[in-house]
Amino acid sequence: MNPLQDFELNEINNGELPGDRPQFEITDMNSLNWAFRKIAVLKSQEKEIKALAATEKQRIEEWERQELKPLADSLSFFENLVSVYHTKQLQDDPKAKTLSTPYGKSKSRTTKAAPKEVDKEKLLQHVKDAGMEEFIKESVAWGDLKKTLTVTELEGKPIVIDSNGQAVPGVEVQPETVSFKVEV
């Protein structure tokens, strides 16, 4: 932070925050400039805090990875031993789907072979070629359609019309809003 920002921050920290005094009001360009200076220094301090927090998070996450890696390796080793043993038990007795001890259970689950979609375009083409149209969804390209629609008024009420001048059912008018964004 530069000395000017330090000054602005000290001014804020010395009781010049809303709630500590009567409500401040921006009445001219000078008071607007004053508010922007305060916003700039606060955003600068926010960036510093977030940068420090990010650095510390990275250090802690790296420490966590280093601490957990040997545990994960050991867990994987023992879980593999259990699954090898359970596989042998299933070969001897196909009904041995669960092995239970006072300290844990090993449960086996068999899933049937099932189709898996890997290429949507090839699949769509096959469905079209095979005449299985009932499996194709029909939908509106809203983003493209929206660009062609117009909001107008009819009998004092806002309505949406298409490029042919027809009212579009199923579409409502979202009222105009004004929002403000402060950039420093």
Tens-digit pLDDT profile for residues 47-83:
999 999 999 999 999 999 999 999 999 999 999 999 9
22 — pLDDT class (breaks 50, 70, 90): low
Spatial contact of 102 and 94, defined as CB atoms under 8 Å apart: no
Average pLDDT of the residues in 118-136: 89
pTM as predicted: 0.49
**Taking 90 as the threshold, does the pLDDT of residue 113 lie above it?**
no
Give first-to-last CA distance, the chain, whole Å. Answer: 15
What is the 8-class DSSP label of residue 22?
S
Confidence of residue 31 (pLDDT cuts 50, 70, 90): very high
Where in the chain does DSSP place strands (E)? 98-101, 104-107, 150-154, 157-161
**Domain residues of the chain, as ranges?**
3-107
User: Can you tell me the distance from the alpha carbon of 181 to that of 126, in angstroms, rounded to the nearest whole number?
Assistant: 50
Lowest mean pLDDT among 16-20, 104-108, 142-146: 16-20
What integer pLDDT is reported at residue 77 of this predicted model? 94
pLDDT above 80 for 160: yes
